[in-house]
Amino acid sequence: MKRKGVGFSLPVAVVMMVIGFVYFSTVFTFIDRWFSLTSSPGIANAAAFTALALMCVYSYSIAVFRDPGRVPPSYMPDVEDQESPVHEIKRKGGDLRYCQKCSHFKPPRAHHCRVCKRCVLRMDHHCIWINNCVGHTNYKVFFVFVVYAVTACVYSLVLLVGSLTVESQDEDEEMGSYLRTIYVLSAFVLISLSIALGVLLVWHIYLSLQNKTTIEYHEGVRAMWLAEKGGQVYKHPYDIGPYENLTLILGPNVLSWLCPTSRHIGSGLRFRTAFDSVPVSSESKP
């Protein structure tokens, strides 16, 4: 996979600092106070949370640095291709999708990002928190990161609440004030992140089950309204069934769904549709 250029990003730096704060407060405050890091339960919880944090950092890093998908300069839509019954067109004029800013045709599901200043394959949205677009090649790792992040936040909240049930007689007034600050700040951060990331996760699960991007969802709302107005029924062309949709996005092997790998995604120039009579074998190739 190609990697995009590296540059400083304040939102990315903030995310990494938050991950670091949550990790150290969870391991060295919550787990240590509840179980003690020298006990078997303490070591087990510290190891489990460390593994979860490492997966968060790893999947987040891939989402940040991996290029979301570029349109090949030589791309040209084949309107006579009998195996590709869906050719997306502009809303007006009926012409094949052409990007005036990039000066090339756009494949199905590709969109121009005004921030990145180029077309992105299967673009979902531009995310300031990864300083990158979420597109064809990094959508899965973005999704996996959100899953790990939500799990880590809920896990940390459980450990925070559990550690509050432990009373220590050895803490002086200064240490007690320090701990109160850590608990109040951690509770605020963890509750806020759990709610925000939880909503984001539910949203992308909903999109994945229908094989839609965020852009396609909003375009589909208007298309559905226009279809109903004309007495027709609108169906998203890339929706081939909940399980099949998930396998196209997360991979054919269920055991690898939470692994930040994307070898199954194909070229991003063509996708299976509800109109295909047989699966497109080329989309299973890297």
Instruction: Tell me how far apart the alpha carbons of residues 10 and 151 are, in angstroms, rounded to a whole number.
Output: 25
Instruction: Tell me how far apart the alpha carbons of residues 70 and 67 are, in angstroms, rounded to a whole number.
Output: 8
What 3-state class would DSSP assign to 187?
Answer: helix
Q: Which one of the listed residues 127, 133, 153, 259 is annotated catalytic? A: 127
Residue 41 neighbours by CB under 8 Å, 6+ apart: 35
Q: Where are the beta strands (DSSP E) in the chain?
A: 98-99, 104-105, 111-113, 118-120, 125-127, 132-134
DSSP string across 14-36: HHHHHHHHHHHHIIIIIIHHHT-
Are 85 and 275 in contact by the 8 Å Cβ rule? The answer is yes
Active site residue 127: yes
Return the number of other C-beta atoms located less than 10 Å from residue 195's C-beta. 12
Are 207 and 140 in contact by the 8 Å Cβ rule? The answer is no
Residues taking part in catalysis: 127
